[in-house]
Amino acid sequence: MIVSTPEKVVYVRILTEKKLTKKLLEALQSAGSLHPELLTEVSEKDREALLKEAERLHELERVLNEFNSIIPKQILVKLDCEISASRLHDYLLSLSNKLSEALQQAKGIKARIEQVTEEIAKSKEILQALLILSTNSKYSNAFIDNISFTGSIVAARTILLEKEIINSFLAELPEDLKQRVVLDVVSSKGYGKAVIIVAGTRSDVEATIEIATSVGGKVIEIPEKHTTVLKFLERLRVRVNMLHRELSKLRDNFEKLINKVSKDLALGKVVATAYKDRLQVLLSALKGRYLVAVEGWVPLSNRKWLEDFLYSNLKYVYIVDSPPPPNKTPPTKLKNPRIFRPYEIITKIYGIPNYNEYDPTPLIAYSLTLFFGLMFADVIYGATMFIIINYLLEKTGFIENPYSEGYKLFKRLCTYLSLSSIFFGLLSNSFAGYSIVLNDGRISFVKPSGSMPQSLLPLLNPMFFISFAIILGLIHVNIAHILSFIKYVKQRNKGEVISKIGFFTIELFGIPYVLYKLLNINLPEPLSSYTNYLLYGIVVGLSLLIAGKLIAYRALGSLFWLFDITGLLGDVMSYTRLAGIGLATSLLAQNFNTLSLGLGSAISSMVPIHVLGLILGVIATLIVMIPANLLNMAFGIIGAFVHSLRLCFVEFLPKFYEGDGREFQPFTIKVKDAILIGSR
C-alpha cells in the first residue's frame, strides 16, 4: 500500500416536520455520520424556546467556569457512562440545578476557609507579640487595655518590629516626639522580633505609628479587654488551635464536595459542549413553511445505514441525495489501516488532503520510520526509547491527559519509531557506541570500525552510509515525481506530463553517463559499449523537459526547466543528512564511552587498594557514561525526528501533494475517557 484515498462521501438533504427538528438533530448527533453544511432557520416561537435553552446552557457554563476558578488544582476524571443525544436536555437541567447548589456550598466553604486563614494569620501576629511581652515581668501581668487602647485624647498601641530595624526606627523619631511619648522596647532571646509599646496623646501615638510602619513595623490590633497578657495569651492559644482544627475540617469538606461533584463537573463539560453544538445548529437553520432541512456530507459506506437509523428514530423523515452548493468542496475523511493511523498526525501537520488527491499517510509512515531508524540505528538507544515511551513517560507528570486520543496516537507513533531504531541497530551491529563481535565462540563488545564484518548493514562505514543515503534519496524523490506524473495525467496537464517524461528520460540516460564520465565507474554491458549514445538520450529528455515547461508556463518555462535539474541534485544530496546524523550519534556515543572509561580507569589507578579502586572506577564511569549517553540519545531522537520530517515535508511532499483540504467533522457527541477540571 503506497498511498490511500479518502473515503467517498455524498451530499444529502434530510427533511422532516418542523416539530421533529429536535428529534432529528438528536438522531443525527447519535449517528455521528453527518458533516453539516447548510442549516435551516427556525420560527420565532422556536427561537424563543432555543434562547431559553441557551440561557440554561449559559448558566451551566457559568457554574462550570466558577467551579474551575475555585478548584485549586486540576483533577483527571474518568467517565464510564454513555450519553445519548435524547438525554442532553435532561442532563442540562439536572446538572445545572445540582451544580448550582453545590457551587453555593463550595463558595461558602471557600469563603470561610479564607476568613479562617486570615484570622489565623492575624492571631499568630498577636500571639507572637504577647509571647514576647510574657517574657517580661513588667508586662506579663499587665492588662491588655493598658497597652492597646485608643481614646479621644490619649492612646497606647503595640507595634511588632524586626530587631535589626529598631535602631532605624528610633533614629527616624524626632527628638521632640521622643520627649512627648512614653516608648518602651521589649525583646527576648529566641525571637527575631521585638515589641514596642508607645503611649501618649492620640496624635503623637499616631505619628509614632506612621514612622514605625514606614520602616517595616506593624501595629498589632489587640482586642481591648480587661484581662492580663498571660491570661489573654492562654485563651488566644486555645483559639488558634480551634481555628486550625476548623480550617483542616473545612479543607476536608471542600475536598469531599469537589470529589463528590467531580464526575458531574466532567459530565457537565461534555454536555455543555455537545448541547452548544446543537443550539448553534438550531439557531442558524433556515425554515420552510412546513418542513425543515439539514444538508451535509455523509460517508458513502454509511449512507444506507444512516437512512435506516433515522427512519427507526423518526417516522416522518426523508433523505435525498442532492448536488452540493457550488462553493462547497467535499470534506476529507481519512481512511487508513489501523497501523498507519498514528502517522495521520504527521499528515495533518502538513495539511489535510483535498477530496480529489491521494492521502500520503502510508508513504509518510514508510519514509518516517525508515529515515528515523537509519539516523537513530542503535539497539540500546532504541530499547531505552521504547521503555521511556511505554512505561516511564506518563509517570513523569509531563503528560497532561494520557487518555487523550492525540497522545495515544503519538505514543504509538513513537513506539513504531523506537522499534525501527532497534531493527536497524541490529542490522548495523550498533549498541550505544559498541559492536558485538564473536571471537572463538566468545561474545565481546568492541569499538566499531568502518567495516564491521558481523554487521548486515554497515551503517558505521561513512562511505557506504553516504552512498546508501544518496541511492535512497534518489528512489524517494523519484517516487514523488512518479506520483506527480500520475496527478498531472489525471488533470490532463499536457505540458507537465511532457516535462515529466523528459525528466525521467534525463535520469535514465544521464545518471549512467555521469557515473561513467565523471566518476569513472564501469557500467555493465551493454551500457559500457554504448556510453557515447547516452548523450543522445539526455538531449532528447532535455528537449521534452523544456518543451513541456514552455507549454505549461509559456515564456517562464524557459527558466523553470533549470529548477527541475538543479532541484534533483539538491534534493538527492539532502538525503546525506541521514548519514551525517546517524554517524554523529554513533561517534558521540563512542567518544562519551571512551571519556567515561578513561576517567574510571584513571580514578581506579590512583587508589592503592585494587578492589576499592575498581569499585570507585566503575562508579565514576557510570556517573559520566549514563547521563552522557542519555543526553546523546535525547539529541539523537530530536535530530532524527526533525530531519525525517524535513525530508518528507521539503524534499518529498511538495512535488505531488497539496494538502489544502478540510477534515470531515461529524455532528456528534465526543465523550473523552477523561476530562480535566479545575484551573491550572
Give me the chain's average pLDDT, please. Answer: 86
Output phi, psi for 454, to 5 deg: -105, 25
Going from N- to C-terminal start, the domains of the chain cover 9-100+251-321, 117-244
Q: Between 634 and 92, where is the model more confident?
A: 634
Q: What percent of the chain has pLDDT over 90?
A: 36
Q: Which of 74-88, 115-129, 644-658, 659-673 has the lowest mean pLDDT?
A: 74-88
Of these ranges, 11-15, 166-170, 493-497, 599-603, the one predicted with the greatest mean pLDDT is 493-497
Which amino acid, 575? Y
Residue from 476, 445, 181, 487 nearest 356 by CA:
487
pLDDT tens digits, 295-316: 899 999 998 888 888 888 876 7
Per-residue cell: 259: 470529589
Q: Quick one: pLDDT at residue 615? A: 87
pLDDT tens digits, 534-571: 888 889 999 999 999 899 888 888 788 888 888 888 99
Say if pTM beats, i.e. exceeds, 0.85: no
Q: Does pLDDT of 288 surpass 50?
A: no
Output phi, psi for 430, to 5 deg: -120, 120
Q: Which of 350-364, 582-596, 601-615 has the lowest mean pLDDT?
A: 601-615
At which residue does the C-alpha cell 562511505 appear?
463
Q: Between 274 and 601, where is the model more confident?
A: 601
At which residue does the C-alpha cell 537513530 appear?
376
Per-residue cell: 387: 521503555
24 C-beta neighbours (distance < 10 Å), count: 22
Q: Quick one: pLDDT at residue 140? A: 81
What is the CATH number assigned to the segment(s) 117-244? Answer: 3.30.70.2750
Residue range 98-127: mean pLDDT, rounded: 90
Cα separation, 534 vs 518, in Å, equals 14
Per-residue cell: 451: 567495516
Of these ranges, 107-121, 235-249, 368-382, the one predicted with the greatest mean pLDDT is 368-382
Listed in sequence order, the residues at least 6 apart from 507 whose beta carbon sits closer than 8 Å to its beta carbon are: 478, 541, 568
Cα separation, 673 vs 404, in Å, equals 7
Cα separation, 107 vs 254, in Å, equals 9
3-state SS assignment for residue 10 = strand
Q: Quick one: pLDDT at residue 626? A: 92
The pLDDT-based confidence of 248 (bands split at 50, 70, 90) is very high
Q: Which of 4-13, 95-104, 509-518 has the lowest mean pLDDT?
A: 509-518
Radius of gyration in angstroms for the set of CA atoms belonging to the chain, rounded to a whole number: 39
Encode 519-545: b = buried (16+ Cβ within 10 Å), e = exposed: eeeeeeeebeeeeeebeebbeebbebb
Which amino acid, 208? T
pLDDT tens digits, 421-444: 999 999 999 999 888 887 776 777
Q: Does pLDDT of 286 surpass 50?
A: no
Residue range 465-473: mean pLDDT, rounded: 94
Cα separation, 429 vs 319, in Å, equals 62
Burial of 439 (0-12, 13-18, 19+ CB in 10 A): exposed
Question: Alpha-carbon dihedral of residues 565, 567, 572, 576, nearest 10 degrees?
Answer: 140
Q: Which of 152-166, 282-296, 576-590 has the lowest mean pLDDT?
A: 282-296
Q: Does pLDDT of 474 surpass 90?
A: yes
